[in-house]
Structure 1
Amino acid sequence: MNSIIKSITTTQILWLGIALSVPAFLWNLGSVAFIGDEAIRSLVAFEMKLSGNFIVPTLNGEAYFNKPPLYNWFIYFISEAFGYYGEWPTRLVSLSFLALFAYSIYFFTRKVFDQAIAATVTLMLLTSGRILFWDSMVGLIDICFCWIIYLNFMLLYFLGKKGNWFYLFIGSYFLCGVAFMLKGLPALVFQAISITSCLILFRQFKQQFFKIPHFTGALLGLMPAVLYYVLYASKVPLSKVFSVLLDQSMQRTGTHHGIGKTLLHVITFPFEQIYHFLPWSLLIVVVFHKKFWQWIHSHEFIRFNFWMLVANLPVYWFSVQVYPRYLLMFIPLFNLCGVYCLLQWESIHQKQARIFKWIFLFTICLVAVCILFFPIIGQSRTISYWWLLWIVGVFAMTFFLYSGFKSNSQILLWTCISLLCFRIIFNGIVLPIREKSSTENACKEDCKRIAALFPNKQLLIYGQTQTHQVARFYTSVFSNQIIRKSYLTNKPEALYLVDLKLYPGFPGTLVDSLILEKKQIIYLMKTNNR
């Protein structure tokens, strides 16, 4: 056994990680219904199809200003390729960008370091707690957006190192334009900080920032985004669009939440992120080594990654309403710095650094124990193949644990492999259980029932009735129509979705009811008016 483990190369472990990633990220991908934000993105794409309007996004037929449309276009193209709008196409868009993100990390890291480090930081992205058990399961904008921001960081480094400033400005501002078309104003904040930091790090701020090549490159790079908004302005006043985008960004800052919540967030933010990005966030310990600053500045690429992280992180550190998925572009920067410093630590004091080996061996042990005790969960035994998953999982984890124990240099890689294995078991056991108990799935099934009961019926949302995100998507898709709002009750041939708590005097007859994702109930009413 020892000889087999010692003969396993980094390349083989990397390919094992890639192979395990397929079932880890794809198995039962569509079993649990959409959450709210997924439903919004997919409904906007679906309404683009029905209306033929790809310039001005709509939601329930009304102009939707909260986000630019690029990600909705991606969902549209993939959904059309699949032939339907739903969980698989939307989530596959997100996973496609996760794969590109992982490949980009490997590609750029391999330009500077050996394969062992490149493979390690690549698999660390895929097995970071937040990505492995949340963001890879949903079809949201953030993985794509963060990948674009990371590409921008890398472009700034590699072109900046070569001194190709004009092409750097064109490429960087083009990526900024793409990021803006995904998420709006945050892209401009990242661009301003990143360009400035890059020029300072390469000691070129005075020579390049206020020069014609910078402004020319910015103009050329942003041209595609500018052309889109020229088209947009022919249909909707831009002042309306940008006021909403600005409000969306400012909602997350202290201006909307007050000094008390802001101070609390500033204090708790580091601890929350350490929790969300376990186990790799434990590498934060290297910061407290007396030689940390020496290590960071001993390598140009590490120095660049570190300062790009430090410069941009306050964007979210001082914004109160922040979700961990907003920070994914920082994962490879942090992980690379952490792994590099850990290797430096090992080179001067192997016994001290060995504590990390035991930490990550403990992680593998913890994963193995979770798999070992899966059968204790009563519902797990309702899955017909649970025993097969359990046996395979226990044997696999035993091998991974032993491999990690015997191979000091590959402990991080074996930890990544064990986490991917756990995600596969999670997919097979937990997701089917979640599918049965999910209120979103119950809402989805009720929307399907309503569409089957009332085919070819026009549906309208009455007044301020809140259908919420999940129901508004599934009612539209299953009935194949844009469900618009109406304050009039002059269409007896239509069915109105009505909140009778808001409108107890609605002039009509009760036809049916609809369960929403949080178990609220709204009613289908047929008006008596003509």
Structure 2
Amino acid sequence: MRQKLFLLALLLLPAALLIHLGAVVFIDDEAIRSLVAQEMLWSGNFIFPTLHADAYLNKPPLWNWVLALSFYLHGGASEWAARLPTTLALVAFAATAYHFSRQHFSQYLAAVHALTVITCGRMLFWDSMLALIDVTFSFVVYAQVMLLYTYGRRGEWTRAFAWSYALTAVGFLLKGLPAFVFQGITLLALLAWTRAWKQLLRPAHLLSGLGCLAVLGLYYWQYSYYVDLPKVFERLFLESGKRTAVAHGVGDLVQHLLAFPFEMSYHFLPWTLLLVYLFQRGSWRRLRKNDFAAFCLVVFLANLPVYWLSPNVYPRYLLMLFPLLFGSLLHLHVGHQARRTRTYRALRYLLLGLMTLCAVVMPFVPLLEATQGVPLAWVKSLTVGAAAGAVCVAAWRKESQLLLLFAIFLLLLRIGFNFFVLPTRAASSERALAVRETATAAMRAHPQDSVAIFAYTLIEPATGYYLSMARGRVIPRQWQDFAPQTLYIISPLQYPGVEVLPQDSIYLRHLRTYYPLGTLPNPPAGPIPLEEPLRDGMGTGLGEALVH
């Protein structure tokens, strides 16, 4: 029975993760990653990331390489092609959780653990459908932690160091300095757990660390031919530090400290409901009976303060940590289930009640006015609703399969979400659609004209992406030598004194304004100076100045 249910979950995964994956317009972070990748393909230069032909320093290049490969294989850039690598990384993430959990848990519990990676709320209904770095980075960090623990616990420290530092290099090339933070904290936690502090000074550790630095050094040696490295590392440190308490006031920090546990518990529902087990008497003693479950909690708690003390963090930054917590909580759940404790029974009826409520409501979703444009709405709602109802009935009857059936139920909810929410969101997001439509229309109206971005004009990344894709080539920033025939995208908010003859306009959804696209009858004679601190979307100001 359990194997059939697990097979059913696997069969539902493609529908849950892929239906209407490319329907919604890019958010800005997706647009940044995708445009940098596309400019790499256009220029043929995969060492020097650019955004509008201007040096892009915020992130290392590995995720751009992944997206560029996807665009190449798909024959072009698109929302689907950009988001598919995230989906594949998520499946690999879950498979990794299963592989390592299976060595310490039952096959059933390992399967449930793998599904919690996919079906926690933040992942299932948001991050799994975005072309962002975080899911892939979290997968790499989780594998890094698991390999470090597995080989370290066996005393195979050479393998532990070699694998974990290799993945640290991969993580750094994905997201920068956080990869070193996770490696350092987890390594210290493991050495304390195993009382093996002397391993820090062993040649295997030193050589693995040097090997990691050598891999990164090889890339940055090549990168140094294009940009001065101090500028690069300055930006990487700023990117890593802008979320921390150093960059925010005491008030923001105190507010964050109080809200963080509740906010993160909310984002990783419904599996964070299992946290109730952690606050029961004797929970740590029961965890210690399974070294893996106990260590997962230790690593979770050891890494958590990095984000708890950082006021400006997003839940996606913690995607690699919560599967560690879920592993510990699932182990506790098994013990409570075997003893049929009051806590277990209360949680069981809560989950069953939620499933029943959703199963009753799901068939009637087409009655909502927002879903009127969904084709075959009643067929979809009745089909998914009937499947959800069947799973709900099975959950009431098969108590021992509750968590697996609950995970399957969540996958059905995601399929319903794909059918009804994503198309509605794609069709009704007027400001997002205006970004894509005005950018596309403006570029198609001027196919033969030269187009550039005027100086430090703030271009929202989604606007820049759709402009570039409609243009079919890089739209560069330009700071000097302005040509009278060139059409410039210019911000009248930043440059009110620059006269422009508009020939078209482009919408920016966050500013809720239009930028003119036109010629400059009296272009500035010299280079445009920077008169305000640079923000994302204004470029780096380096342009070609530091390009050799």
Q: TM-score, normalised to structure 2's length?
A: 0.92
SS of 1:209's equivalent in the other structure is: helix
Q: Does 1:527 align with 2:520?
A: yes
Residue pair 2:149, 2:160 contacting (<8 A) in 1 also:
no
Residue pair 2:29, 2:132 contacting (<8 A) in 1 also:
yes
- Once the two structures are TM-superposed, the CA of residue 489 in structure 1 deviates from its matched residue by 6.7
- Measure the CA separation in 2 of the matches of 1:501 and 1:166: 58
Count residues with an aligned counterpart: 521
Q: Does 1:495 align with 2:501?
A: no
**Residue in structure 2 matched with residue 300 of structure 1 by the alignment:** 291
- Measure the CA separation in 2 of the matches of 1:87 and 1:54: 21
Residue pair 2:293, 2:328 contacting (<8 A) in 1 also:
yes
- Measure the CA separation in 2 of the matches of 1:259 and 1:304: 33
1:328 to 308, 315, 319: 319
- Once the two structures are TM-superposed, the CA of residue 147 in structure 1 deviates from its matched residue by 0.6
Q: Does 1:138 align with 2:133?
A: no
- Once the two structures are TM-superposed, the CA of residue 315 in structure 1 deviates from its matched residue by 1.1
- Measure the CA separation in 1 of the matches of 2:421 and 2:190: 45
**Residue in structure 1 matched with residue 397 of structure 2 by the alignment:** 406
1:28 to 20, 39, 48: 20
**Residue in structure 1 matched with residue 445 of structure 2 by the alignment:** 453
Residue pair 2:122, 2:316 contacting (<8 A) in 1 also:
yes
Q: Does 1:215 align with 2:196?
A: no
- Measure the CA separation in 2 of the matches of 1:456 and 1:369: 57
Between stretches 312-321 and 453-462, larger displacement belongs to: 453-462
Aligned residue identity for 1:98? L
SS of 1:329's equivalent in the other structure is: coil
Residue pair 2:277, 2:343 contacting (<8 A) in 1 also:
no
- Measure the CA separation in 2 of the matches of 1:68 and 1:369: 48
Q: Does 1:473 align with 2:465?
A: yes
- Measure the CA separation in 2 of the matches of 1:379 and 1:303: 46
2:149 to 157, 177, 195: 157
- Once the two structures are TM-superposed, the CA of residue 441 in structure 1 deviates from its matched residue by 2.5
The correspondence of residues 63-212 of structure 1 with structure 2, limited to 5 A, is: 63-205=55-197, 207-212=198-203
- Measure the CA separation in 1 of the matches of 2:42 and 2:448: 15
- Measure the CA separation in 1 of the matches of 2:357 and 2:378: 20
CA offset digits 1:4-48 (Å, max 9, x no partner): xxxxx2211111111111111111111111000000000111111
Q: TM-score, normalised to structure 1's length?
A: 0.95
- Once the two structures are TM-superposed, the CA of residue 443 in structure 1 deviates from its matched residue by 1.0
- Measure the CA separation in 2 of the matches of 1:415 and 1:185: 37
**Residue in structure 1 matched with residue 332 of structure 2 by the alignment:** 341
The correspondence of residues 330-409 of structure 1 with structure 2, limited to 5 A, is: 330-409=321-400
- Measure the CA separation in 2 of the matches of 1:503 and 1:189: 41
- Once the two structures are TM-superposed, the CA of residue 348 in structure 1 deviates from its matched residue by 2.8
Between stretches 310-319 and 343-352, larger displacement belongs to: 343-352
- Measure the CA separation in 1 of the matches of 2:375 and 2:179: 47
- Measure the CA separation in 1 of the matches of 2:343 and 2:244: 41
- Measure the CA separation in 2 of the matches of 1:370 and 1:286: 30
Aligned residue identity for 2:44? G
CA offset digits 1:476-521 (Å, max 9, x no partner): 1110122122244732332111223333443342101111233321
**Residue in structure 1 matched with residue 263 of structure 2 by the alignment:** 272
Q: Does 1:57 align with 2:64?
A: no
Aligned residue identity for 1:331? F
- 5+ residue gaps in structure 1? 1-8
SS of 2:489's equivalent in the other structure is: strand
CA offset digits 1:265-304 (Å, max 9, x no partner): 1111110011101100111101111110111111111111
- Once the two structures are TM-superposed, the CA of residue 215 in structure 1 deviates from its matched residue by 0.5
CA offset digits 1:31-75 (Å, max 9, x no partner): 111000000000111111122221121111111111000000000
Between stretches 312-321 and 460-469, larger displacement belongs to: 460-469
- Once the two structures are TM-superposed, the CA of residue 384 in structure 1 deviates from its matched residue by 2.2
Residue pair 1:17, 1:417 contacting (<8 A) in 2 also:
yes
- Once the two structures are TM-superposed, the CA of residue 142 in structure 1 deviates from its matched residue by 0.3
Between stretches 368-377 and 82-91, larger displacement belongs to: 368-377
CA offset digits 1:343-389 (Å, max 9, x no partner): 11222344542112112112212322442441232121222210101
Aligned residue identity for 2:33? R
**Residue in structure 1 matched with residue 233 of structure 2 by the alignment:** 242
**Residue in structure 1 matched with residue 539 of structure 2 by the alignment:** none
SS of 1:313's equivalent in the other structure is: helix
**Residue in structure 2 matched with residue 4 of structure 1 by the alignment:** none
CA offset digits 1:75-129 (Å, max 9, x no partner): 0011011011120111001111101101101111112222100111111111100
SS of 1:298's equivalent in the other structure is: coil
More helix by share: 1
Aligned residue identity for 1:196? L
Aligned residue identity for 1:520? T
- Measure the CA separation in 2 of the matches of 1:305 and 1:501: 51
Residue pair 2:360, 2:389 contacting (<8 A) in 1 also:
no
- Measure the CA separation in 2 of the matches of 1:464 and 1:232: 24
- Once the two structures are TM-superposed, the CA of residue 529 in structure 1 deviates from its matched residue by 4.7
Q: C-alpha root-mean-square deviation of aligned residues, in Å? A: 1.5
Aligned residue identity for 1:336? G
- Measure the CA separation in 1 of the matches of 2:373 and 2:171: 44
1:429 to 397, 400, 420: 420
**Residue in structure 2 matched with residue 6 of structure 1 by the alignment:** none
Q: Measured at CA, do residues 420 and 211 of structure 1 come closer, stay the same or move farther in structure 2, by a change above 3 Å? A: same
Between stretches 420-429 and 482-491, larger displacement belongs to: 482-491
- Measure the CA separation in 1 of the matches of 2:127 and 2:291: 31
Aligned residue identity for 1:484? P
Residue pair 1:171, 1:221 contacting (<8 A) in 2 also:
no
